[in-house]
Amino acid sequence: MPFNPLAERGIPLDRQLRSWSELNVQPYDTREVHPYTRCRVILMNGVEVEAAMFSHNFNRNTADVELKQRLARVRRIEQQQQKAVNWLIPGESQENAVEVTIGYEQVAVDLTAWLARHEPDPYLRQVYEFGLLEDFDHLYRYANLMDLMGNGRRAEEITGNYTEITPGRPTIFEHRDPHDDLRRPMTVQAAHRQSMLNAMTLVSAEQQTMNYYMTVGNRPTDPLARALYLEIAQIEEQHVSHYESCLDPTISWLTNWVLHENHECWLYWSCYETEVDPRIRQVWELHLAMELEHLRIAAHALEEIEGKDAAELVGDGYAAPMTFEENKAYLREVVARQVDLTAWDSEFLPVDDLPEGHRYFAYQAQVNAGGVPSEQVIERRRAEFGDEYRFETDGEHPVEPLRERGDHDNLGYWRATRSHGAVAPIG
Amino acid sequence: MSDNDKHDGLKGLADKAQDMVGGMVGMASASTAGSHDARAFVMNGCVSDRYEIEAAAVALRRSRSDSVRAFAQMMAEHHTTAMHQMASALRSHEVRDPLPDIAPPAELDARRQGMIQHLLDAPDDDFDRMYLDQQKLAHQEAIALHRGYAEHGDNPQLRSVALGGLPMVERHAAALKRINLH
């Protein structure tokens, strides 16, 4: 039976404020935590950050003083929720920044894969599969960095046996002209409700990943680690542009507020339904009850100010929870089918089909001049350990040129960048 | 003036007149069927973008004016983007579910083919004027099409395409007014 958030009662707003001691939650134990519990914590932190920043931007764009007050009251609680969720991640001595980074990339892989598999719109599914292969590659690059930084843990101890660690679309080739990150927006009027939830989820998750790398990327001392973070942080910016351009840009701020609160309800309900850690499940249950009230407040404002019914946006409720689960077979199929795709405006095509002089090659030549950290990290791993770090549980890589001893030059991207005169620094 | 020059001059005048009459027909079509019917909007929008790209390619080969060449380069880039936006919209369920057989036209219609031919045939010293005259008509038509469909169109996703493209074609029309050939 679907969960209809408009038919449920939440906690009244004046009973939602918590003390500092209530917010300063006991972190999970990094040795005990289920990898997908860590993923849910990382995801919901990103969702709360988006909720807070959306509310701040709404506040900056409305003159309605009383509406500002409503936003401020809800926003203060959203900010408390963000602290309660993000403070579940343990401190540096248990999980350092690169280990948390592995968690962020596991989120990006298994979240995007699930959303792509459950996306009803064929164009949006293609958008998600395109981004998926890029985050899949980031996990592999950071896993090699983690080995080089050497605190004794390997990436598979973070991800468990759930996610393979192997090349996707090589990061070196993900750098594109900004025009080629802009997709076609859906419309709230005609899109599937699930499509709106999916896109908002990816915007929140990728935005938080971008914010995280923007902030922690300069914390390592090793120049290669710093360089890898800044290179991949730039891709995360591309991904935020890529996903946010799928959202309907014509809706009102109030409609957008309802969509945000509805989105939070869906994901807290999903976490509550799928969580295996009883203590953390209580956090999801509490926050779901809070979000139900936030949704009611936003829905009331929409009806009162614009005369619109929030039920038209929310529908009958949620049919299925977003679930962190294995996507290994799906990922292998997508990487085999789409590794050589690139983007031209809102469309996707094999890189070999780009015309002579396309802006992609000039952009590649400019940013990749002088060496590429995402390639250098693999080279250094090979130089120091004799091989790459990979975690391939289901056999060798499905794309021959991406196997450790494969014919790397035979990848379509290497051929295309060389034939168009773009810099191709690694053979 | 030789007989050949007289012939070229008369042909140029006839071509311009034909472009202008064609443009009026196009305006009427853009303002009527194209303003509310999804198939007409897709047909007119795609053919308009293809014409812009082909005309720009001719202008980049033939024009000696920096400002005309810069404008043509912008047309090639912007209308390629518009063509891609339309192609992506046509792959979305918002269009495919109600209109499963809709597809972009494979080539230019006879009117736009004629306009491209006129550009190819134009004498060197008349080329820039003819290109800019065609551009003014084409952009008036594109504005009518996009504005009409954005306001009255029958498919939300295609209305969104029209709404997203309208400011661009309006800026093109404004840019055309700023081009001074002398």
Q: What is the ipTM of this complex?
A: 0.93
**Count of other CB atoms within 10 angstroms of residue A251:** 17
Contacts of B160 in chain A (CB under 8 A): 185, 187, 248, 250
Cβ neighbors of A409 (< 8 A, separation 6 or more) are A401, A415, A427
Per-position DSSP letters for B64-114, written without gaps between them = --HHHHHHHHHHHHHHHHHHHHHHHHHHSHHHHTT-TT----SS--HHHHH
**Residue of B46, B73, B78, B160 to mutate when probing chain A, most A C-beta within 10 A:** B160
Q: Are A424 and A417 in contact (CB under 8 A)?
A: yes
- Select from B88, B155, B163 the Cβ nearest to the Cβ of A184: B88
Helix axis angle, A97-117 relative to A122-149, nearest 10°?
A: 160
- Interface touch A122/B93, C-beta < 8 Å: yes
pLDDT of amino acid A78 = 98
- Which residue shows structure tokens 């001691």? A21
> Among A175, A163, A195, A130, which Cα is nearest to A349's?
A130
Nearest CA in chain B to A250: B160
> Which one has a higher pLDDT value, B22 or A62?
A62
**Residue of A184, A354, A359, A360 to mutate when probing chain B, most B C-beta within 10 A:** A184
| Sequence ranges of the domains in chain A | 5-327, 330-419
How far, in Å, CA of A191 to CA of A248, rounded? 9
Nearest-neighbour CA in chain A from B18: distance (Å): 34
Q: Which two tokens stand for residue A23?
A: 């917010």
pLDDT band at B25 (very low <50, low <70, confident <90, very high): low
pLDDT of amino acid B23 = 66
pLDDT of amino acid A426 = 47
Q: Are A345 and B168 in contact (CB under 8 A)?
A: no
Per DSSP, the three-state class of A161 is coil
Q: What domain range includes position B161?
A: 3-178
Q: Which two tokens stand for residue A96?
A: 């350092």
Ramachandran category for residue A421: left, alpha or beta (phi over 0 → left; psi -120 to 50 → alpha): left
Nearest-neighbour CA in chain A from B4: distance (Å): 40
Q: Are A266 and A318 in contact (CB under 8 A)?
A: yes
- Interface touch A248/B80, C-beta < 8 Å: no
**Residue of A180, A347, A349 to mutate when probing chain B, most B C-beta within 10 A:** A347
Q: Are A407 and A343 in contact (CB under 8 A)?
A: no
What torsion do the CA atoms of A177, A183, A184, A188 make, to the nearest 10 degrees? -140
pLDDT of amino acid A409 = 87
pLDDT of amino acid B19 = 73
Asked whether the predicted pLDDT for residue B3 surpasses 60, the reply is no
Per DSSP, the three-state class of A250 is coil
- Alpha carbon distances (Å) from A247 to A59, A113, A188, A260, A303: 20, 19, 8, 12, 22
How far, in Å, CA of A210 to CA of A233, rounded? 6
Contacts of A190 in chain B (CB under 8 A): 94, 155-157
Output the CA angle B152-B154-B155, nearest 5 degrees.
120
pLDDT tens, position by position, for chain A (427 residues)? 789 999 999 999 999 999 999 999 999 999 999 999 999 999 999 999 999 999 999 999 999 999 999 999 999 999 999 999 999 999 999 999 999 999 999 999 999 999 999 999 999 999 999 999 999 999 999 999 999 987 779 999 999 999 999 999 999 999 999 999 999 999 999 999 999 999 999 999 999 999 999 999 999 999 999 999 999 999 999 999 999 999 999 999 999 999 999 999 999 999 999 999 999 999 999 999 999 999 999 999 999 999 999 999 999 999 899 999 999 999 999 999 999 999 999 999 999 999 999 999 999 999 999 999 999 999 999 999 999 999 999 999 999 999 999 998 889 888 888 888 775 544 3
- Interface touch A122/B91, C-beta < 8 Å: yes
**Count of other CB atoms within 10 angstroms of residue B152:** 13
Burial per residue of A106-144, b for 16 or more beta-carbon CB atoms within 10 angstroms, e otherwise: bbbbbbbbbbbebbebebbbbbbbbbbbbbbbbbbbbbb
> How many Cα atoms occupy the beta-carbon half-sphere of A386 within 13 Å?
0
Contacts of A347 in chain B (CB under 8 A): 84, 87-88
Nearest-neighbour CA in chain B from A326: distance (Å): 27
pLDDT of amino acid B9 = 64
- Which residue shows structure tokens 């900010």? A79
Q: How many residues does chain A have?
A: 427
Q: How many domains is chain B partitioned into structurally?
A: 1
| Residue B91 contacts A, CB cutoff 8 Å | yes
Which residues is A350 bridged to in the sheet? A341
pLDDT of amino acid A412 = 87
Burial per residue of A354-373, b for 16 or more beta-carbon CB atoms within 10 angstroms, e otherwise: beeebebbebbeeebeeebb
Burial per residue of A58-91, b for 16 or more beta-carbon CB atoms within 10 angstroms, e otherwise: beeeeeeeebeebbeebbebbbbbbbbbbbbbbe
Contacts of B164 in chain A (CB under 8 A): 185
pLDDT digits (tens, 9 = 90+) for A67-115: 999 999 999 999 999 999 999 999 999 999 999 999 999 999 999 999 9
Per DSSP, the three-state class of B149 is helix
- Select from B84, B87, B156 the Cβ nearest to the Cβ of A190: B156
Q: Which two tokens stand for residue A259?
A: 């969509």
From first CA to last CA, the distance across chain A in angstroms is 55
- Interface touch A120/B93, C-beta < 8 Å: yes
| Residue B154 contacts A, CB cutoff 8 Å | no
Q: Would you list which residues of chain A are within 8 Å, Cβ to Cβ, of chain B?
A: 120-124, 126, 179, 183-187, 189-192, 248, 250, 344-347
**Residue of A345, A354, A356, A360 to mutate when probing chain B, most B C-beta within 10 A:** A345
Q: Which B positions 8-67 lie with beta carbon below 8 A of chain A?
A: none
The whole-model pTM stands at: 0.93
Asked whether the predicted pLDDT for residue B8 surpasses 80, the reply is no
Q: Are A13 and A73 in contact (CB under 8 A)?
A: yes
Helix axis angle, A278-301 relative to A253-274, nearest 10°?
A: 160
How far, in Å, CA of A419 to CA of A60, rounded? 49
> How many Cα atoms occupy the beta-carbon half-sphere of A52 within 13 Å?
16
pLDDT digits (tens, 9 = 90+) for B123-142: 999 999 999 999 999 999 99
pLDDT digits (tens, 9 = 90+) for B31-90: 666 678 999 999 999 999 999 999 999 999 999 999 999 999 999 999 999 999 999 999
What are phi and psi for residue B89, nearest 5 degrees? -60, -40
pLDDT of amino acid B6 = 57
Contacts of A120 in chain B (CB under 8 A): 93
Per-position DSSP letters for A170-183, written without gaps between them = -GGG----GGGG--
Asked whether the predicted pLDDT for residue B155 surpasses 60, the reply is yes
